[in-house]
Structure 1
Amino acid sequence: MAYVTATEKDLHEKPNEETVSVLNPYLMQMKADILYHFALGTETHDFPSMFGDVKFVCVGGSPSRMKAFALYIAEELKLGDSQNDIPNICAGTDRYAMYKVGPVLSISHGMGIPSISIMLHELIKLLYHSKCSNVTVIRIGTSGGIGIEPGSVVITNQSVDASFKPQFEQIILGKTVVRSTKLNADLAKELDQCGKEINEFNTVIGNTMCTLDFYEGQARLDGAICSYTEKEKMDYLRAAYNAGIRNIEMESSVFAAMCNISGLRAAVVCVALLNRLEGDQISSSHNILVDYQQRPQKLVGFFIKKQINDPCLSL
């Protein structure tokens, strides 16, 4: 039976759009908090001094891709040269990588729901301990498109599970907890408008399917195990398209759920590396794939630069 805790219900009824919330009363009782997977801690690091000015957090699966984004945004914001190195704040661990450029944090989250979930718990606590406010969090990454041209950038309306339901389910203390995966509609529209202003590639707002694995969970025929026919695969993907789904990835559901609970304005921006209605394997050349993977970075970088340069925006 699905349930939502009273504190979560209260938060959704009275959302706090400015500060980062942590729904854990035990954190208030702790003398110190160790963010183990970041190799950071409140007794060993001055969080407000290090991160208090953060307004934008961009997360993605690959450490190298997130370093590349940090170098890119440094040049875009004129806060550094893309040829210069940026230190990894999480150098004390090999689990995640984190880079800071002015008000922007760039963090890797690995692959799949469990990996990004761990990162998000510690990121949300980091923002809370740092007393950050008005924070926007954006996942940038790659995905498999459904019924769209390769290279198109999908801005997620809401994340849905493999049954096309807009929810994230988790078993906690033996009970099923169901949380909303709706993302900020205004932010999605702002990002889509940025795509139109860039006018270099196609952007589309659509639902994103979040799956538990890369092969059978995404109806591929090329895994080590396949328990369905090609017709069943195609029927499933066409049904997904008819349900408004435009791409498939493996992190958006828990990302949306946790950002919702914590009062964070959030978006998911992923490029489609292929159209899954036309095949399962990525066959584009290396140069084309590099160009595709840079598109979410360009879009989000343009958005951040526009926000920072807006005199009406209170950062």
Structure 2
Amino acid sequence: MAPILADNNKPKLPEMDDYVKNGRVHVENPHLDLMSEDILYHFDLGTKTHNLPSMFGDVKFVCVGGSPNRMKAFALFIHKELGLEGDGNDTTDICAGTDRYSMYKAGPVLSISHGMGIPSISIMLHELIKLLHHAKCRGVTIIRIGTSGGIGIEPGTVVITDIAVDAFFRAQFEQVILDKVVVRNTELHQELAEDLLRCSKRIPGFSTIVGHTMCTYDFYEGQGRLDGALCSFSKEDKLEYLNKAYIAGVRNIEMESSVFAAMCHLCGLKAAVVCVTLLDRLEGDQINQSHDVLKEYQARPQQLIAMFIKKQLNLCT
């Protein structure tokens, strides 16, 4: 079956330009307005049980990442960086009523875990975007921070994604909806990527680049690893494929960027993906750095995003 362009034959929605001009978070679902209540099940939040505008109306930045512990650590870090009152140790998980995701708020910044892989982040994003819409948030920037495998670059390099590509190096995200294959754009906000790159120049100690990010559906065979429970290809096949990816502009591989880019693009959100590389996949498949080295690597995207947020809030020169 041939793919179709996204969002054909739908009830008419307000023009995207209206949302962009007013800075509102756009939802691509006309059915929401017909609902008397919207239960954000995986967040343990709802429009009738919680005052979402009061809780989240001041949010300007949303940072998402796979690990609950990492996103709590980021919330504590950004609390300190922004000079908010207290030491942040009383920061609590807003989604404590569920074991699916964790959410923390530090001033205008939300820090949320999304789990691993396209299905997990997709569920989170549906409810996050609805949350921001119901809370009447405006001018929101959303950034995925995480880890990845590099291709042809030094471990510890931070990659700012310009375009998320699939395993065929195509700048698109395919999803089966009902019995149709829907294709969506995966280009991220270029001005935001450039702003982040400029911020990185002010942080010594590690390299930051802009490049394509390949998003795969699994960690092992889908990324050409030789060390999974299954492997149907040779080392030569793997290296040939990864070199093709490098020539196509791919500089790192992870498992969430394509659907993240597609959903944020459709909903008019300024979005970026910033991931540190833990290894060079041309050199091997297993992560063998020490715990301390990996911890320092994982802090690098957080440092960059904190610098960016402070700059946007005029908290640094």
State TM-score, norm by structure 1: 0.95
CA distance in 1, matches of 2:278, 2:98: 30
- Secondary structure of the 1:79 match is coil
Correspondence 1:1-315 to 2 at 5 A:
1=2, 2-6=4-8, 14=17, 16-17=19-20, 18-81=23-86, 84-309=89-314
Contact 2:274-2:301 within 8 A present in 1 as well: yes
The one-letter amino acid paired with 2:199 is C
**What letter matches 1:73 in structure 2?**
I
Distance (whole Å) between structure 2 residues aligned to residue 116 and residue 189 of structure 1: 25
- Cα deviation digits, residues 194-235 of structure 1 (max 9, x gap): 111112210000000000000000000000000001000000
C-alpha separation between the residues in 1 aligned to 2:246 and 2:161? 14
Distance 1:31 1:245 in 2: 45
Q: Distance in 2 between matches of 1:85 and 1:172?
A: 42
Aligned residue type for 1:209:
M
What displacement does 1:82 show? 5.0
Where structure 2 has 5 or more consecutive residues not aligned to the other structure, the ranges are none
Q: CA deviation at 1:9?
A: 10
Q: What's the offset of the Cα at 1:23?
A: 1.2
**Local SS of the residue matching 2:202:** helix
Deviations 1:251-306 (Å, cap 9, x if unpaired)?
00000000000000000000000000100000111100000000000000110011
One-letter code of the match for 2:35?
Answer: M
Measured in 2, the distance between the counterparts of 1:11 and 1:148 equals 43
Q: Aligned letter for 1:180?
A: N
- Measured after TM superposition, the shift of residue 84 of structure 1 is 1.6
Any runs of at least 4 consecutive aligned residues in structure 1 with deviations exceeding 4 A, and if so which? Answer: 6-13, 80-83
Residues 275 and 81 (structure 1), Cα distance of their counterparts in 2 relative to 1, 3 Å cut: farther
Aligned CA distance change for structure 1 residues 131 and 271 (closer, same or farther; 3 Å): same
Give the AA of the match of 2:157. Answer: S
How far apart, CA to CA, are the structure 2 residues paired with 1:151 and 1:177?
35
Q: Which blocks of at least 5 consecutive residues in structure 1 are unaligned? A: none
Query: Matched residues in 2 for 1:272 and 1:8: separation?
Result: 42
In the TM superposition, what is the alpha-carbon distance from 1:173 to its structure 2 partner? 1.1
RMSD: 1.7
Return the offset for 1:3.
2.0
Contact 2:103 2:113 in 1 (8 A): yes
**Would the alpha carbon gap of residues 180 and 8 (structure 1) be closer, same or farther in structure 2, given more than 3 Å must change?**
farther
Q: Secondary structure at the match of 2:19?
A: coil
Cα distance in 2 for partners of 1:104, 1:13 equals: 25
